[in-house]
């Protein structure tokens, strides 16, 4: 029967899992920050497009006079 050092393997897998979980947490945090930036910029773009439409409408009214 092969001598399996289960204790050292368990410690090694535990360390690997901790590093993987840490990396997952970092990536999730980074993704969430970028998503928040994207959503803020999209909201700003929509607001600016609304303002541009109003300006164009007002300009058209002025041109028709």
Maximum CA extent, the chain: 98
d(CA 7, CA 13): 10
Give pLDDT, residue 56: 96
Give the residue extent of every domain in the chain: 24-65
3-state secondary structure of 56: helix
Length of the chain: 65
Q: Is the pLDDT of residue 11 over 70?
A: yes
| 1 pLDDT above the threshold of 80 | no
What pTM was computed for the model?
0.65
| pLDDT for residue 35 | 98
**pLDDT tens digits for 18-55?**
999 999 999 999 999 999 999 999 999 999 999 999 99
């Amino acid at each position: 029967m092969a001598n399996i050092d289960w204790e050292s393997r368990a410690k090694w897998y535990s360390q690997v899992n901790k590093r993987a979980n840490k990396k997952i947490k970092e990536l999730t945090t980074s993704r969430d920050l970028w998503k928040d930036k994207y959503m803020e910029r999209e909201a700003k773009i929509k607001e600016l497009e609304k303002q541009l439409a109003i300006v164009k409408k007002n300009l058209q009214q002025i041109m028709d006079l």
